[in-house]
A and B are shown apart, each in its own frame.
Chain A
Amino acid sequence: MEKIKNNKFVKIVGFNRLVLMGVIVLLYILFAVLTPILHSGATFVSYERIMSALNYAYFIGFMALGVTFVIATGGIDFSVGPVMFASALISGFCLTKYNIPLPVCLLISLLVGLLFGVLNGYFVAYRFLPSFITSMASMQIAKGIGSVFTKTQSVTWPGSGSANSWYRYLVKWNNIPTGFILLCLVAVICAVVLHKTKAGRYMLCIGSNKEAVRLSGVNTKKWEMLAYVICGLLVGIAAIFYVGAYTTVQPGLGDTFNNEAIAACVMGGTSMAGGLASILGAVIGAVIVALMQEGILAMGFTISYQYVLTGLIVLAAVTADIMSRKRKN
């Protein structure tokens, strides 16, 4: 085992990340075997299934990347799902009802996410409100704003073939999963920001010992707020990928995705205690969550089973994190 861990490739990618990649392969094999048995006539091994799982992984992945920044500072953001829906609803409503040009609507989506990031960041960093309470409150605000703005009506973004459908190429173009390429690209940028820039170092150190960072002369408020702002921006991007994959958005929903984004993040190796974060782990975690969702549907179970499973994953991931902290301490 020690020999494997000392391997150069294992050291670069990280042992835990490789284990998670192994989990993806195992899950795929498991679903491939179980699907025809439990759901006669259905198959899991198909290009469509992979694309469908990836569609789910994109927006969960972007949200997980955002949450990673917040958790690195020792906080939490429970509003990512509803904020993503609010972004998609408001920008989609502007597109379909007010005929605002599509590029502007995409920008509106980013701005809505960013605004919620600023709101959360301001109250956590400058008003010292617990991130748990703040994000719970903004979750309700996001759900409310989305419903009020669209008068509780669902919004359908332009489908394939219409003039304004080019935004869907962000997700898939000529059967190429462009969304996955873009997710990886953003993940690389996030990794560089978190591990190779002054801002990222500050965020990680705030999660490790905030008081020491403050006393050393660093403006902790500014950098803590930045983590929430980055999270908001990434949630705005997640909204674009959500509508790119599914086109229709319903108001008052989205909170179920919070758990999935947090589960992906913690599963990937980000510590709930702060100070330790893994960007690659968050992306792999998002793929695992998406694969599970696809597998459950393929086996003929309803989406409710997915909620049960996600809840169990969160419990398992957090318990594992606490136990590993205890062991390390």
Chain B
Amino acid sequence: MTEQYTLYFEETDADKRKALLDAIGKEEGDTPACRLCGRLWEMRYVDPKSGRRVDLFLWELVELLCLYSTAGLMKKGNSRDAKKALDAMGISEAARYGAEGEAVLYEELCNAVRLYLRTCDSKSYHKRLLGLMEMKEAEWQQKVARDMWRLSVGLPRRLAMEEEFSPLAKAVRDEFCRSFENGKQLLEEREERERRGKDKKQ
């Protein structure tokens, strides 16, 4: 990927990204990668019903996390909802573009995850117990790791949709490990804790 693409995938502001994408289009012409980037941009930032500026990829990440808490109960309905969410994140769209499509989608999903991780720095995410207490750094890291584990391992496992989730799961894991020095260790600890919990129950 060219430097311009790198800049495009690093940027999280929708308008700046649009400007960068337009510049790429002018320079490279109508390449499949540029076309897919444009399509994903539309899917992500334009509400199909109202045409309003939104961030549907970010919303789907939050929605998938909410789905995790009820995933064991209404498996059929939740699998349908998860499939819808993955489609809204352009997974089927990118599949049409082959390996190049996969690479573009991976970068786009990493971008969405990066933005999600930034929102975890907000005051409201740090609060606990009705907003009266604030989390310590270690506790906060574990909360973020829990969310990332649920998106990349927990939810796909619960819904038995590991294959469908694989592009998102990879992006979530990689981006988390890039953003947190001890990311890999946090995810492993999380996995170990889940496994130990299951062992105890058995």
Does A216 contact B55, Cβ atoms closer than 8 Å? yes
A130 CA / B124 CA spacing, docked (Å): 11
Interchain CB contact (< 8 A) of B58 among A71, A204, A212: A212
Does B125 contact A216, Cβ atoms closer than 8 Å? no
The size of the chain B interface, using a CB distance under 8 A, is 38
A273 CA / B70 CA spacing, docked (Å): 17
Does A205 contact B63, Cβ atoms closer than 8 Å? yes
Question: Which residues 42-79 of B have a CB within 8 angstroms of A?
Answer: 47, 52-56, 58-59, 61-63, 65-66, 69-70, 72-73
A136-144, A180-188, A250-258, A321-329 - interface stretch: A321-329
A325 CA / B69 CA spacing, docked (Å): 13
Question: Which residues 197-213 of A have a CB within 8 angstroms of B?
Answer: 201, 204-205, 208-213
Chain A, interface size: which category? 35 or more
Cross-chain pair count, CB within 8 angstroms: 99
Which residues in B have their C-beta under 8 angstroms from that of A204? Answer: 66
Q: Is residue B182 within 8 Å, beta carbon to beta carbon, of the partner chain?
A: no
Does A195 contact B124, Cβ atoms closer than 8 Å? no
Which residues in B have their C-beta under 8 angstroms from that of A212? Answer: 58-59, 61-62, 115-116, 119-120
Question: Which residues of B are in contact with A by a Cβ distance under 8 Å?
Answer: 47, 52-56, 58-59, 61-63, 65-66, 69-70, 72-73, 115-116, 119-120, 122, 124-125, 127-132, 139, 142-143, 146-147, 198, 201-202
Chain A binding site: helix, strand, loop or mixed by DSSP?
A: helix
Does B73 contact A14, Cβ atoms closer than 8 Å? yes
Question: Which residues 98-136 of A have a CB within 8 angstroms of B?
Answer: 130-132
Known: A210-B124, A212-B115, A217-B59. 8 other contacts (CB 8 A): A74-B124, A76-B130, A195-B70, A211-B122, A212-B119, A217-B52, A217-B55, A329-B139
Q: Is residue A163 within 8 Å, beta carbon to beta carbon, of the partner chain?
A: no
Question: Can you identify 12 A-B contacts, CB atoms within 8 angstroms?
Answer: A11-B73, A131-B131, A209-B116, A211-B122, A212-B62, A215-B58, A216-B56, A216-B58, A217-B54, A217-B55, A275-B69, A322-B128
